[in-house]
């Protein structure tokens, strides 16, 4: 509960006996007990008021996601860049697919335009299949040997 093991608790009791004295110890123990009970009542009251204020939404909250210890700024930035990069690629892919769907309709009107439209759509396909710098980094980090230590440049610090 408090991170105190049995030995530490025994030492605290002995120190309390020496400092407070055996005559006043029951009085202080009772005050400590009352303080702990009051704090528990206050904590339960706060929980109840929060539950009452938030209603059913309070039970749906995933408290693990809100734990500040899990946040790594590097990971957050990396994920944001990947999301942004993939969104840009998807929009370019949609634009190129819309343009290529318009091109065959135009190629029916003129025979020479069809070969030009096919030539334009061919170079676009490899561009959509290439990896972004973030995705290349993620692929390289997945292949990296984790057992070896990272290189350290003493002159850089």
| Domain boundaries, position 74 | 62-97
**Does a structural domain hold residue 143?**
no
**Does a structural domain hold residue 118?**
no
**CA pseudo-torsion sign 134, 140, 143, 146:** negative
The predicted-structure confidence for 66-124, as pLDDT tens digits, reads as follows: 777 777 788 888 888 888 777 788 888 888 888 777 655 444 444 444 444 444 444 44
SS3 content of the chain, % helix, strand, coil (to 5): 80, 0, 20
Residue 110's pLDDT is 44
- Is-above-0.75 flag for pTM? no
> For residues 36 and 138, what is the distance between their CA atoms, to the nearest angstrom?
51
Q: And the tokens for 156?
A: 């850089």
Residue the block writes with tokens 């990947």: 82
> For residues 100 and 110, what is the distance between their CA atoms, to the nearest angstrom?
15
CA 45, distance to chain mean position in Å, is: 31
> For residues 43 and 46, what is the distance between their CA atoms, to the nearest angstrom?
5
| Same domain flag for 85 and 52 | no
- Number of folded domains in the chain? 2
């Amino acid at each position: 509960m408090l991170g105190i093991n049995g030995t530490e608790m025994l030492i605290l009791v002995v120190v309390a006996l020496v400092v407070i004295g055996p005559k006043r110890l029951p009085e202080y123990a009772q005050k400590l007990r009352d303080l702990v009970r009051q704090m528990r009542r206050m904590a339960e009251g706060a929980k109840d008021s929060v539950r009452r204020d938030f209603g059913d939404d309070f039970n749906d909250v995933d408290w693990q996601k809100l734990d500040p210890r899990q946040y790594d700024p590097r990971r957050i930035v990396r994920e944001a860049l990947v999301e942004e990069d993939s969104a840009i690629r998807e929009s370019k892919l949609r634009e190129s697919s819309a343009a290529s769907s318009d091109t065959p309709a135009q190629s029916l009107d003129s025979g020479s335009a069809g070969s030009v439209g096919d030539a334009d759509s061919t170079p676009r396909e490899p561009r959509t299949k290439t990896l972004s710098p973030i995705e290349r980094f993620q692929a390289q980090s997945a292949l990296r040997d984790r057992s070896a230590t990272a290189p350290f440049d003493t002159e850089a610090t």
